[in-house]
Chain A
Amino acid sequence: MSLKNYVITRILLAIPMMFILLALIFFILRIMPGDPVLAIVGGKAPQHVIEKLREQMGLNKSIPAQFVDYVLSMLKGDLGKSTLTNRPVLDELKERLPATIELTAFAFVMAVLIGTFWGAEAARKKDRSLDVGARMFAIVTYAIPVFWLGLMMQLLFGMVLKWLPVAGRISPALSFTPITGFYLVDSIIKGNWAALWDAFKHLIMPGVALGLIISSIFLRMVRNNTVLMLSKDFVKAAVARGIRERAVLYGHALKNALVPILTIMGLQLALLLAGAVLTETTFSWPGVGSYLVQKIRYRDFPAIQGTIVIFALIVVVISICVDIINALVDPRVRY
């Protein structure tokens, strides 16, 4: 199969996957305790008001009919209106999504860099200090809850040392008006270096706190897989051809070690989204995660549903990307 056909097949396969996710979200939200109408009007509203609202929200229809309505509006890209603000959920999410993407991208890149380089070097120097250090790092970061780590970092770097800001994305004093919503990108576009530095400083703590969660997992996997690959015949054969140690490590051992990890990394990104909810709350980061927490507090069902749908969509897109990258790296996948 050519790469193009593989990509097309993979995207087509994602459609039923997305459909199943949509269905799951719908039914889980129906099963969850709490009545969306009562959540809006409060427990003491007269019966006819409640009935009218039910009708407006389509909640008087049968469950299957509601499901059809829901799927159709999702297909149109209509996520409904927030019951709290009465604004379209999609608009609200669009404002918040860049913040979350910026945060998770930072965390992810950090985890990938730590995982790949430290992992590969630890594998090369097995059981030496770099490797032992990696093991300790993995245990410690794996055991620490992200919100606690966030709080401790705020305390140390924010309160005591005063190196980094403890909340938000940018100092209000800069009165920064975003273009794309990605502050790092925006400040570069504008050539506003003060804003770039400020936004970056805001990003460091939440980004590191979030990145640490998955970097330890990633580091362990890269290290173990690379150790395994270094013992393979093709590595010995490469050494026997005079290929330099560095090229053998990165070009032969690591490249093969990463093949199975790529898939897992995609799943880790999903985990990262979950971590983002906690991190954003800790650091008052105005992203989708803190949005979700806020909406759950007020039982804003359309907003909750819309946010989860977007999360699901992101996970599906990531899994497609992961599979395509996998096919690029490992030829055996696409034949």
Chain B
Amino acid sequence: MKSVLRIEDLKVYYKTEKGLVRAVDGVSIDLCERESLGIVGESGCGKTTMGYALLRILPSNAVLEGSIKLNGLDLSSLDQKQMEKVRGAKISMIFQDPMTSLNPVMKVRDHFIETIQTHKPEISEEEAERMTANMLRAVGIEPTRMNEYPFQFSGGMRQRVMIALSLVLNPVVVIADEPTTSLDVIVQAQILDLLKSLREKFNMSLILITHDLGVVAELADRVGVMYAGHLVEIGESRDIYYSPKHPYTEALLKSIPNTNIEDKELVYIPGGPPDLADPPKGCRFEPRCPKAMPICSRKEPGVYQVGRSFVKCWLYGEESHVSASKGQ
């Protein structure tokens, strides 16, 4: 399959009073055309930071390194003016909280018109309105409601609006950052279904960020597991579910209630994630890892291919060694 987004050795450091917070530290991912990739991990492991990095909307205290190639165009080397042309048109983002992601004093319609005409000034207002109506219909909202203000919509409806808004220019890649976290369970399922059908309809690639492995199982072709700024495992959803390779992935799966994993007993991972301003020298999971070996605390593991998955763990150190840390 053709790769559309190639992230190579992506690093995002936040400058803080405590020193550099290594929120994303050397992540490499290849995203294919029409692929849906789930990114999971505990709170604070750098998922949102990675999403922001891809759109280059990081806060001003962030330092970005590595390369982000979108259909060959290196986003990490563009300046903000050039990036404005890419955002929303070629790569877009759906945010976590639909209640706060729309401008409260702007009609829903105007959000769309502004976005469309910013990128395509040649499109007339009537045409832009037609596009808006079609898009709203596609997400299950009565097009006549475009003249309403955000506060007149429920949370689930607002997330539908946000989804429509992020897709209206038919971007190549859409990043959804915990798009259902703030919604109730039934609405969550509806939104996930919607994302699934839209991804097929619009031929886009989707990066679905979540801390919920259950959500990912439904939607993602592949899953990447993040821990403390590292991508510790990436592979096909099935493999991640049925034969997790990394001890962290295993622990993560065991800690979800009600999954179809044999082992029903709930296991909490002891301890907490490391301080990203002063991470462990070796493997970042080592202090909590049940399978830790002496080398783990001394040296950072490389990325090894195990079956169809790629794992950043010393357990697989002897197996077929891949020089570059690529997940393909």
Asked if A332 contacts B149 (CB within 8 A), the reply is yes
Which listed segment binds B: A35-43, A239-247, A300-308? A239-247
CB pair B85 A242 closer than 8 Å: yes
Complex contact A255–B105 (CB within 8 A): yes
For residue A241, give the distance in angstroms from its CB to the closest CB of chain B.
4
Question: Which residue of A241, A245, A256 is within 8 Å of B104 (Cβ)?
Answer: A256
A residues near B101, Cβ cutoff 8 Å: 233-234, 236-237
**Given the complex, which residues of B lie within 8 Å of A252, measured CB to CB?**
103, 106
Question: B74 interface residue, CB < 8 Å from A?
Answer: no
| Min C-beta distance of A124 to chain B, whole Å | 11
Q: Mark B101-120, 1 if CB is under 8 A from A, else 0.
A: 11111100000001100110
Sorting the interface of chain A by its residue count into under 10, 10 to 19, 20 to 34 or 35 or more gives: 20 to 34
CA distance A329 to B103 in the complex (A): 12
A330 in contact (CB, < 8 A): yes
Q: How far is the CA of A88 from the CA of B104 in the complex (A)?
A: 50
Contact A241 B115 (CB under 8 A): yes
Which of chain B's residues have a CB closer than 8 A to the CB of A241?
Answer: 87-88, 92, 115, 118, 165-166
Separation of A335 and B148 alpha carbons in the complex (Å): 12
Interface of chain A residues 173 through 210 with chain B (CB within 8 A)? none
Contacts of A236 in B (CB 8 A): 57, 95, 101
B151 contacts partner chain A, Cβ-Cβ < 8 Å = yes
A296-335 interface bits toward B, Cβ cutoff 8 Å, 1 = contact, 0 = none = 0000000000000000000000000000000001111001
Distance of A330 Cα from B105 Cα, bound (Å): 5
How many Å from the CB of A2 to the closest CB on chain B?
14
Determine which of B85, B86, B89, B103 lies in contact with A238 in the assembled complex, contact meaning CB atoms within 8 Å. B103
Return the contact of B84 from the options A237, A244, A332 (Cβ within 8 A).
A244
CB closest residue in chain B, given A258: B105
Which residue of B has the minimal Cβ distance to A238? B103
CB distance from B177 to the nearest CB of A (A): 10
Interface residue total, chain B, C-beta cutoff 8 A: 30
**Is the C-beta of B43 less than 8 angstroms from some C-beta in chain A?**
no
| CA of A244 to CA of B114, assembled, Å | 10
Alpha-carbon distance between A164 and B149 when the two chains are bound, in angstroms: 50
CB atoms of B95 and A237 under 8 A apart: yes
**Residue A61, interface by CB 8 Å:** no
**How many angstroms between the C-alpha atoms of A238 and B93 in the bound complex?**
10
Tell me whether B162 is interfacial, beta carbon within 8 Å.
yes
Partner pick for A245 among B80, B86, B92, B95, CB 8 A cutoff: B80
- Say whether B115 contacts A233, CB under 8 Å: no
Instruction: Assess whether B93 is in contact with A234, with CB atoms less than 8 Å apart.
Output: no
- CB pair B57 A234 closer than 8 Å: no
Interface string of B278-304 (1 = CB under 8 A from A): 000000000000000000000000000
Q: List 8 A-B contacts (CB under 8 A).
A: A233-B95, A234-B100, A237-B95, A240-B57, A241-B87, A242-B85, A242-B86, A256-B104
Q: A-B pairs with the 7 shortest C-beta distances? A: A242-B88, A241-B88, A242-B87, A233-B100, A237-B101, A331-B149, A240-B93
Beyond the given A241-B165, A242-B119, A259-B105, could you list 20 further A-B residue pairs with CB under 8 A, ordered by the A residue number? A233-B95, A233-B97, A234-B100, A234-B101, A234-B102, A234-B103, A237-B95, A240-B57, A241-B87, A241-B115, A241-B166, A243-B118, A245-B80, A247-B118, A252-B106, A329-B105, A330-B104, A331-B151, A332-B104, A335-B151
